[in-house]
Chain A
Amino acid sequence: MTSERKVRTNRANARASTGPKTARGRANSARNALRHGLSQPVYSDPAWSEEVKALAQEIAGPDANTEITELARRVAEAQIELRRVRSARNEFLSHTLSNPYFDSKAAAREKARVIGRILAGKEPDVSMEFLTAYLASTPQGPEKFATILLEAKQLQAMERYERRALSRRKFAIRALDEARRFAV
């Protein structure tokens, strides 16, 4: 059993941590949902909304009752959500793989450090040819793909969204099946 004092402290802490306080923090936070738009519900986009409607109709079939129609809408919503996440992931991968300047974070940091030393007049003890080749080098082929998979935070976020959409769809389909079983 949580003590009264602990409850009070928890409540006080919760009130103290209510998101970003500064204008900069709030501005950053406000942009979170716009990075890939996946946290926005599908209904916020008219195009996706239409897709949900069409798919729900196909799932429900003709002469569906109100309950089936509603459950079919839930399945359609989760399916479109899933499609949206997967499209975003594919687009992100295509875009990043075709970016010739993509570099790993560690390599980019190291190169910035080398450039800093050059600007400070402390050139590394290597030939200019080698130095230029090093600074212009970026990962290619499987190395590049693996680096993207390892480092891109967006991909990890998309993985979470995909998991949620799959879970939502699974339970929505189960509910629809159950409703149809009793409707027979």
Chain B
Amino acid sequence: MVARLKPRAKAMTSAPARVRRLELFGRPPLLEGEDEDIYNELRDRMYAAVDPADIIEEMFVEDMLYLQWDIVRLRRLKLSLLTESGSEALKSFLSANMNLELYEDIFRENLTQILEKKLPKDQAQELAEQGCRSNEADPKIKQLLSGSGHDLDDIQDAATRERAQELAQAYARREPEAIDQVNEILASAGRTMDNIYASQLTEEIDKIERIERLITVAETRRNVSLRELDRHRAVLAEALRQKIPEIESTEYRVIEPTRTEGRARRDQ
């Protein structure tokens, strides 16, 4: 198929053409968060490239447009799913393997805030400091916390999760410091990022497989539409070829100029 950008193709983007297409093919298949301008751009480019000659060809273009949009959507979904699940896997791994020094500041701050409800500020800070550094202060802290419905292990877990999330997000943004820290934790646990992603992929494999299948179905249908468009054009071309000799063999009648036209020509 040859890409052509003709004045006629450009005219397909005009308002009346869009209204007509809306009547024939319905509203664009957009979901929440999808950009209508990008969809319209894709459609205009497809119409310009294919330059449909009749309504049947327009149907095929609309098909390819619908399916291409779906393919892009599904590919994006697959990528997001893998990225997000990889990030979740990394977060879980970091939560389970992180050293105290990496989340100590959050743990101390959260613990101080809770202890401040029971103790003066300086005493709360001192006790929280002791609690972070050794287990000796644990009984005293646990006693203070027991009355307020808090648990020391829960506070520590929450601090670990919070820092793990921050670190995983910074790693996804490719911040050098975060990359170094994550690599260090991975090395100390004898793991690699591939291991982490692979373990998560096993959990998401059903969804990935389904998305892959839907992409294949959409690609096959798009290719069939393309093939049928070519076939339809070939039939039209064949019909035209058959018609040409008939047109060429037509005897043309010479139209004599009228008296007035003849005089006007002579006057010139």
Contact = CB atoms under 8 A, between A and B. Distances in A.
Interface of A: 55, 58-59, 75, 79, 83, 86-87, 89-90, 93-94, 97-98, 127, 141-143, 145-147, 149-150, 159, 166, 169-170, 173-174, 176-178, 180-181, 184
Interface string B227-268: 010011001101100110000000000000000000000000
A170 to B, nearest CB: 6
Given A79-B59, A86-B66, A127-B154, A150 B31 contact: no
Interface string B55-97: 1100100010010000000000100110011000000000000
A83 B21 CA distance: 12
Residue among A89, A141, A178, A184 having the largest count of chain B Cβ atoms under 10 Å: A184
B61 to A, nearest CB: 13
Contacts of A143: 81, 84-85
B235 A181 contact: yes
22 contacts: A55-B24, A58-B24, A59-B55, A83-B25, A86-B26, A90-B31, A94-B31, A94-B32, A127-B151, A127-B154, A141-B84, A146-B207, A146-B211, A149-B207, A166-B63, A166-B224, A169-B59, A173-B228, A174-B231, A177-B231, A180-B239, A181-B235
A87 B30 CA distance: 10
Given A127-B154, A142-B80, A170-B228, A90 B207 contact: no
B77 A150 contact: no
B45 interface: no
Interface in B184-212: 204, 206-207, 210-211
A contact patch SS: helix
B214 interface: yes
Interface in B148-165: 151, 154
Residue among B59, B80, B224, B242 having the largest count of chain A Cβ atoms under 10 Å: B59
Contacts of A55: 24, 55
Contacts of A93: 31
A146 B210 contact: yes
Nearest to B154: A127
A184 B242 contact: yes
- For the complex of A and B, 6 pairs with smallest distance between CB atoms: A142-B80, A146-B207, A177-B235, A142-B81, A184-B239, A90-B29
A57 B264 CA distance: 47
A180 B55 CA distance: 15
Given A142-B81, A181-B235, A184-B242, A87 B26 contact: yes
A165 B89 CA distance: 42
Contacts of B84: 141-143
B59 A149 contact: no
Contact of B239 (A145, A146, A150, A181): A181
Given A87-B26, A93-B31, A150 B210 contact: yes
A184 B243 contact: yes
Contacts of B217: 159
A93 B29 CA distance: 10
B80 A173 contact: no
